[in-house]
Amino acid sequence: MVQGQAVIVSPDVTLATDGASRGNPGPASVAYAIYRNGEGIVEEHAETIGKATNNEAEYRALIAGLEAAALHTGGIVHHVSDSELLVKQLEGLYSINAANLEPLVQLVEEAARRFQGLQHTHVGREDERIEHVDGLANEALDEAE
């Protein structure tokens, strides 16, 4: 490999996650969708998680999604999220200043060991995968009210 060039690896699955909180902290939910190239969505899920901050919900959505993704592959997972904080913290670009997030980061790191690789990408809210999981997370909260 030539120094400075990235190696492009095709993921086995793409995992889109979203966490929602109404009140921050307040009633919260998590959602994920797992996509396999050429097949579309192979699994999706949403549920309420009680009272949590938005950032806690984002991490808990990722943890739930990674647990589910492990049933589909042990290979490469490409995670997409609209949470810049989550992605940048997991990439080591932002520090983790909230004590409530530290155990959740550890759970993400433990779950990541199940895969050959895990890549996080921050995408905008207009990304159709994020729109989908955002809708699932909000439906779960609406149904719980």
Residue 86 belongs to some domain of the structure: yes
Residue 1 lies in a domain: no
Tell me whether residue 55 is in a domain. yes
CATH number assigned to the domain comprising residue 92: 3.30.420.10
Residue 145 domain-assigned (yes or no) = no
Q: Is residue 116 part of a domain?
A: yes
Q: Give the range of the structural domain holding residue 92, as residue numbers without chain letter.
A: 13-138
Residues facing 47 on adjacent strands: 30
Looking at residue 3, its pLDDT comes to: 47
Residue 32's pLDDT band, with cuts at 50, 70 and 90, is very high
Q: Is residue 63 assigned to a domain?
A: yes
Q: How far is CA 79 from CA 1, 13, 16, 105, 133, in A?
A: 25, 9, 6, 15, 13
Does residue 5 form part of some domain?
A: no
Dist CA 115 CA 129 (whole Å): 22
Q: How many domains does the chain have?
A: 1
- Average pLDDT, whole number, for the chain? 94
Residue with the two structure tokens 């810049």: 84
43 part of a folded domain: yes
pLDDT in tens, 70-105: 999 999 999 999 999 999 999 999 999 999 999 999
